[in-house]
Amino acid sequence: MKKLTASIALVDSVLLGGAWIPVLAAGGVRSETIQPAQIVPATVVAIAEAQAANGTGTNSRPDNAQDAAKPAPASGPATAATPATSPREQQSSTGLPVVTVTAHGFAVENFKLPAVDTVITSSDLSELQNTEIRGAMDLVPGVTYTQSQQAGLSFISIRGISQNRNTTSPVVTRLDGVNEIDPEQFNQATYDIDKIQVIKGPEGALYGSDAVAGAILVDTKNPTNYFTGYARVGEGDFGQRTAAFGVGGPIINDALQFRLAGQYTSNDGFFRNVTLQQNENPQERSAARLKLHWLPAENLTLDLSSSYERTLGTANFFHYTPAILTPNGFLAPGVAPFDFSNIDANQVSRTFYNNNLGGDDYRLHQDSLKATYDGLSFARLEWTGAYDDLSELTLADEFPYTASTTRNTIIGPVDGTQTQYFSIRAWTGEVRLTSKLNAVPRLHWLFGLYYSYVDRFISSTTGTDNGLGIIPLFLVPQFNSPANPTGSFLADDNHNYTKSVLGNIGYDLPLGFSIDLADRWDKVDKNQFVSIFNTAGVPGAINRGTFQRQSPRATLQWLPTEGMPLYGHLSLYATYGEGFRAGGFNQNGVGAAAAAIGLSGVGDRIEEEIARTAEVGFKSRWLDDRLEVDGDVYRIRDTNQPFFVFVGAVGAQILINIDQARMHGGDLSVRGQAFSDPTWGSLSLYASGNYNKNYITQYRLNPADVGNNLPQAPVFLWQAGFAYQRHLFDNNVVGPVSLFTRWDFSGRRREAWDADNSSFQKGYTTLDLHFGFKGERVSLMASILNLTDEKYNEEFVEGGFTEPALPRSAMVTLTMNFGE
């Protein structure tokens, strides 16, 4: 890979020959320990792994300590090999591992958690050689994840409730107990992870506005009172390189511990730009994190975390399918070089012709402090505060992304340039009071307060391409630039305030029944200050909006008690909940831009989304805990789901509300241990599927779309796979060594990308293969992603914009563990 040598901070020095060449600071690392263990299946539906804080354990309901301590198998995804001694994933005597979860605020075996949940452990991530969140999300049933356009942009969809550009996510993501304040944080580097918990269904009662479809809880590895560490290096095709490390231990025994970790990854790019004779999408990423755990007084602990990440690369890897190109990638002559009948989500090209490579500079910094006081007899008190600072600047060729410079056509000037810049600073705080085990028999409760302030600036521009490169734009346009004059400039500064009150109370009823009631009230005040330089709308305008709503949830669960039939084998639950995603504003003036292309009725205000979900499910375990079968059915009534439309002529990114939609379907997952034998090794298997019938029932913008499928909501998703491990030998240097292999299949069927259902994406199946030697101290692993080199588009945007998914790639990594 050519060494990237120019920082985006020195943007004036990197505009050479129409290409913007970024660079990267050294950094990063990551890894998890790999220990020999009995193989357990790669999972499927389920788990929200978490630690019972300070002994606040609970069973189905937190009053039965004896039952809570009973081993139960995990029903979580993708664990092909898990240490049997893990404090949160203990191996049951005959079957699958035990996982304790706290997704609903109380520690409980995941078998007894009344929700569809999935956990990805550090062992999973090690086996996947995973450095991005994508690999983890591919293991979660009923979830789609799209990473597109630039480093910080990704979309997640759960049960048909989806995410779009410039909207908040339909799921709340918490990193070490801190809510992420913008979707741009979700695609950050994945390193030194202890576990990732994914809970599906409305979780706003505990996690707040935006948890309309679920919650994702990410826990990184904590400091320890003994020295431990690991180091990992890897190399692959396409110039892939990775290095990671983690080290921790005591600074003051039993009083102050630390954990320092980091990761560096790079690649030369996976696609070829024929016009520029270089790769289209090279990238370098570095990240580091420091955590301190301090016990300054009895019953008081302080946890401090500070992290930084930077990614440098290029942006906007799109094709425009209606464009008619010459053989060498220029836009065809004439004023109408377009075939608007050629709009196809299945038209895939890995070759690019854009004459501007562009650039991408993504930066993320977070500081957080958590204080826990455990001196109360009846409850545990926790306070968490955080400061976030993130920004991203992207420079890119404008549609239709050809070798041509700016020219006029029947739809106006095309093949110009575009930039987007956003900068976010946020302060958040949360306090929770959680009841202790058996403080009041058969009763548990949780109450809390939350506050956040977010200052978010965004500017989006287009410009004339004179073949002299792209000028980075931040707060002010450059209309008179001789090299790259600004054509359109849309910018606004947003000041958003969130205040929340939350509570949860549960009680154990006779005969194994229990009831849980949770509620949360969120008030979100949004203030948009439009730039005085805006070229559309009303320059200098001020828009204000308040979005507030309760997010209630009620759950009834039945767990057979000791002496009853099916005791320890079955859990049944029924849940009703409402989720709320705050509305907001389009960039001022995009409504007029939409009207200019025939999208009348589009406004600058985006209404709040409300999802009402009813769900019935079961979890079961059989054959001495060697087999788990879980399932659920659900119905969702969704109001005002936001949908994205792009107006390429002015670079306008427009959000539209789909008034009403319905989704109903279900999940089914099976995982089991086929055999575990000292001679033949261990084999585990898993399979899962999600069926999601979804359709629009009201859409005032275009009533003809009623009955169509929702965007980004596949009708069927499935996963299946197996893992095999066999002990080979023992060695005094590397410890026990095992042969290991893991195969992960996944597929999706019938996915629309727009409300018009203009082009359905055909079904496709991918296969990831992982194999190698796993040792207690040293492991050598190889991974081949997309083994069959399946060609499909990562994203399709209404109008004919496509971005191809990554091709087959391979990597080999060497990991050394030191007490992990």
What pLDDT was estimated at residue 257? 98
Q: How far apart are CA 587 and CA 528, in angstroms?
A: 9
What pLDDT was estimated at residue 13? 33
- pLDDT category of residue 18 using cuts at 50, 70 and 90: very low
Q: What percent of the chain has pLDDT over 70?
A: 86
DSSP secondary structure letter of residue 81: B
- pLDDT category of residue 49 using cuts at 50, 70 and 90: very low
- 3-class DSSP assignment, residue 92: coil
What pLDDT was estimated at residue 577? 94
What pLDDT was estimated at residue 731? 86
Nearest Cα to Cα of residue 265 among 285, 282, 249: 285
Q: Is residue 141 part of a domain?
A: yes
What pLDDT was estimated at residue 651? 55
Nearest Cα to Cα of residue 585 among 184, 169, 180, 167: 167
What is the mean predicted confidence (pLDDT) over 152-169? 86
Q: Is residue 90 part of a domain?
A: yes
pLDDT higher than 70, residue 273: yes
Query: Around Cβ 237, how many Cβ atoms within 10 Å?
Result: 14
The predicted-structure confidence for 629-642, as pLDDT tens digits, reads as follows: 999 999 999 999 99
What pLDDT was estimated at residue 440? 83
Structural domain for 713, as ranges: 8-818
363 versus 775: the higher-pLDDT residue is 363
- pLDDT category of residue 134 using cuts at 50, 70 and 90: confident
Within 8 A by CB and 6+ apart from 524, the residues are 209, 496, 497, 498, 546, 547, 548, 582
- H-type alpha helices, 512-589: none
Q: What is the CATH number of the domain that holds 196?
A: 2.40.170.20
Q: How many domains does the chain have?
A: 1
Q: Is residue 783 part of a domain?
A: yes
Within 8 A by CB and 6+ apart from 381, the residues are 372, 373, 374, 431, 432, 433
> Containing H/E element for 593?
helix 590-596
What pLDDT was estimated at residue 597? 66
Q: Is residue 23 part of a domain?
A: yes
- Residue 106, CB-side half-sphere exposure with 13 Å CA sphere: 32
pLDDT higher than 90, residue 262: yes
> Containing H/E element for 133?
helix 133-137
What is the mean predicted confidence (pLDDT) over 503-515? 94
Q: Is residue 2 part of a domain?
A: no
Q: How far apart are CA 82 and CA 136, in angstroms?
A: 16
What is the mean predicted confidence (pLDDT) over 491-519? 95
761 versus 87: the higher-pLDDT residue is 761
What is the mean predicted confidence (pLDDT) over 242-269? 97
Least confident of 46-55, 148-157, 350-359: 46-55
What pLDDT was estimated at residue 612? 96
Query: Around Cβ 511, how many Cβ atoms within 10 Å?
Result: 9
Q: Look at the alpha carbons of 790, 669, 43, 47 in this order and tell me if their dihedral is positive or negative.
A: positive
- CA distances for 295 relative to 81, 175, 377, angstroms: 34, 22, 19
Nearest Cα to Cα of residue 116 among 518, 615, 611: 615
Q: Is residue 1 part of a domain?
A: no
What pLDDT was estimated at residue 126? 83
Q: Is residue 449 part of a domain?
A: yes
The residue to which tokens 């306070």 are assigned: 383
- pLDDT category of residue 50 using cuts at 50, 70 and 90: very low
Least confident of 107-111, 199-203, 559-563, 793-797: 107-111
What pLDDT was estimated at residue 650? 52
Contact predicate 463/405, CB 8 Å = no
The predicted-structure confidence for 582-638, as pLDDT tens digits, reads as follows: 998 887 877 777 777 666 667 788 899 999 999 999 999 999 999 999 999 999 999
What is the mean predicted confidence (pLDDT) over 805-809? 97
The predicted-structure confidence for 636-676, as pLDDT tens digits, reads as follows: 999 999 988 766 555 567 888 999 999 999 999 999 999 99
Q: What's the one-letter identity of residue 224?
A: T
Q: How far apart are CA 521 and CA 580, in angstroms?
A: 10
What pLDDT was estimated at residue 65? 32
Tell how many helices (H) and how many strands (E) occur in the chain. Answer: 5, 45
- Alpha carbon 340 to its chain centroid, in Å, reads 34
453 versus 148: the higher-pLDDT residue is 453
What pLDDT was estimated at residue 89? 43
Within 8 A by CB and 6+ apart from 540, the residues are 530, 531, 532, 534
Q: Is residue 157 part of a domain?
A: yes
What is the mean predicted confidence (pLDDT) over 297-307? 97
pLDDT higher than 80, residue 131: no
Q: How far apart are CA 473 and CA 587, in angstroms?
A: 17
Q: How far apart are CA 508 and CA 106, in angstroms?
A: 14
What is the mean predicted confidence (pLDDT) over 454-464? 96
| 171-175 β-sheet, strand order | 116-121, 193-200, 214-220, 171-175, 178-179
- 3-class DSSP assignment, residue 235: strand
What is the mean predicted confidence (pLDDT) over 214-230? 94
Instruction: Provide the mean pLDDT of the chain.
Output: 85
pLDDT higher than 80, residue 739: yes
